[in-house]
Amino acid sequence: MESFALSFASMLLALAFVLALAYVVLRFWKARMQPRVTPGGGPDDLLRFVRALPVGTKERVVIVEHRGERWMLGVTAGGISTIAHWADGAAAPVVAPTNTERS
């Protein structure tokens, strides 16, 4: 019985060590993955994903925001190209969806 208790205690100690190590590694990893903001810069310096629309198997149209400006980008396997750009404070044009079906 003493062997079982000693084995169980060592297993619990090993489990506590692994959980503590995982906690430390995950906290370190989270700190390293946070976006870095340059001094004097604010949260507007961050690139923010707004929306994506797939238009093919590897092609998509993506809208991102950076420093208050919106960019519409075409993303393909061969590269990224700018489709449209809206300056800071300018509203993006709103296009009403059209219904092409006929009853």
Reported as a pLDDT band with limits 50, 70 and 90, residue 103 is very low
Residue 6 CA to residue 2 CA, distance in Å, equals 6
Query: Within the chain, where are the H helices?
Result: 2-33
Q: How far is CA 45 from the centre of its chain?
A: 15
Question: 33 CB contacts (<8 Å, ≥6 apart)?
Answer: none
Q: Name the average pLDDT for the chain.
A: 82
d(CA 9, CA 11): 5
Contacts of 20-28 spanning 24+ positions with Cβ under 8 A: none
pTM for the whole structure: 0.48
